[in-house]
Amino acid sequence: MAKKPEKDSFVTEITPRSEDFSKWYLDVVRKAELADYSPVKGCMVIRPYGFAIWELIQKALDARIKATGHVNAYFPLFIPEGLLTKEAEHVEGFAPQVAYVTHGGGEELEEKLVVRPTSEAIIGVMYAKWIQSWRDLPVLINQWANVVRWEKVTRPFLRTTEFLWQEGHTAHETAEECEAETLKILALYEEMLATELAVPVVPGRKSDSEKFAGALRTYSIEALMGDGRALQAGTSHNLGQNFAKAFDITFQARDKSVQHVWGTSWGMTTRLIGAAIMVHGDDSGLVLPPRIAPYQVVIVPIGKDNWQETVLPFAKQVAGNLAAAGIRVKVDDRDERPGWKFSEWEMRGVPLRLEIGPKDIEKGQVFSARRDTREKAALPLEGLEARVREMLDGIQHNLLTRAITFRDERTQRVGSYQAFKDVMEGRPGFVIAGWCGAADCEAQIKTDTQATIRNMPLNGAAPSGSCVRCDNPAQFEAWFAKAY
Ligand SMILES: [Zn+2]
């Protein structure tokens, strides 16, 4: 019995979002049982509820990757140190974050092994073996894996030393084809986030200071979180011929000349779960878009005394019908108060709650409560599956619309550096401003305001006027924000 009060109070333990966003986030992650800290510093345990969300994201993304002609494969976790150092910029960029294996089987290794921080190097070696002729191109391979990047400051899902992701690695005949692939994936990522996670993003090109180590050009999708900070949700890199030259990936071209392939790499990670939490959540906890919700509907039986004999079988039958219609549904048959169950499932973000009591059974109806709008309504049992499906679609759509509205309200164009600083000190969000293209100007803006160039949108306006910080003419129209 000692356990009861603790359980009752767990919802009120969530720090209000408006009070301390960062603490709210950690409370939600832990109390909704998405992830937990582990004995390994910087590494999290993804709990079943969080992993179920990841599996749904993975399934939706994997289907899109395959529909665009890519296939999955698997490469080793370890990379001989010598391979990582072949591409100079690449090794310089990743060196501070690399974990090494120095011993194995009780003996010191002759060559240290790197625990992959990303797989360009090991995949490059294999592509050099596999690609001989233009007929072998393009190579369109994706890998689902874990990677390790030693991080000093970590936060569950957003930045952890080990994380899960997919990494695509492709090789092409021409520069044009390579760039087209890079942008095709960026568009795929954008659509995936809008459709599945109800998260709107800004697709664009990264400045040189933020590009992937070893890439020619990096593109990203950037989303705005509930606290006005931006989150880089996915990247797509045009590697040019940099890795092909470092790993000697050549092919005999149609004109019989020997040429280096053109490469891309692209990835999205478990960070997406963090994005969904921070875009949609509220003071009561998680709000999950139906398409990535492990349970789209939870049914709570209401009743006294013998509810387990009367209401529960009926609730299970309703659940069976919903499940048969392809809806992910859970009946909460635990011996707890209904009010307690309501709070728990609200906190865990289940999009739609159905309550069924003896009176509802008599009337041939169920009582519904939406998580996003908290609207409540009686629904007739007749045609319930179609009605629930419609409501779930409505919730998914509403969450995206809400997120777009929020993002648009927090996006503004500024004309002066003072206005720029005022936004970042007051109510941060995206700031659109002209940029001269100079790295030192970009760095100074970061020092002054903590804001960085998130990207230069693909469909942005043509640059006009002068750079927001200096008097030089603007070369780019950039989107700035404080970022995670
Ligand atoms: Zn400037």
- How far, in Å, is the centroid of ligand 1 from the Cα of 92? 27
What confidence tens digit (pLDDT) does each residue in 54-107 have?
Answer: 999 999 999 999 999 999 999 999 999 999 888 878 788 888 899 999 999 999
Name the E strands within 53-106: 71-72, 78-80, 99-104
Q: How confident is the model at residue 307 (pLDDT cuts 50, 70, 90)?
A: confident
- Cα 480 to ligand 1 centre (Å): 13
Q: What is the pLDDT of residues 201-222, one digit of tens each?
A: 999 999 999 998 889 999 999 9
Ligand 1 centroid to residue 179 C-alpha, Å: 28
Q: How far is the CA of 266 from the centre of ligand 1 (A)?
A: 30
CB 222 within 8 A of CB 204: yes
- Residue 364 region by backbone torsions, left for phi larger than 0, else alpha for psi between -120 and 50, else beta: left
Reported confidence tier of residue 12, pLDDT bands at 50, 70, 90: low
* Nearest alpha-carbon partner for 298 in 340, 355, 383: 355
Ligand 1 centre and the CA of 232: distance in Å?
Answer: 23
Give distance in angstroms: CA of 466 to centre of ligand 1: 8
Ligand 1 center to residue 437 CA distance, Å?
7
Centroid of ligand 1 to alpha carbon of 445 (angstroms): 9
pLDDT digits (tens, 9 = 90+) for 430-448: 999 999 999 999 999 999 9
pLDDT category at 35 given cuts 50, 70, 90 is very high
The stretch 335-347 carries a mean pLDDT of 94
The pTM of the whole model exceeds 0.85 = yes
**436 CA → ligand 1 middle, Å:** 4
- Sign of the alpha-carbon torsion through 272, 165, 128, 86: positive
Ligand 1 mean position to 208 CA, how many Å? Answer: 14
Question: How far apart are the CA of 54 and the centre of ligand 1, in A?
Answer: 41
Nearest to 435 by CA among 397, 478, 406: 478
Beta bridge partners of 87: none
**Band of residue 407 on the pLDDT scale cut at 50, 70, 90:** very high
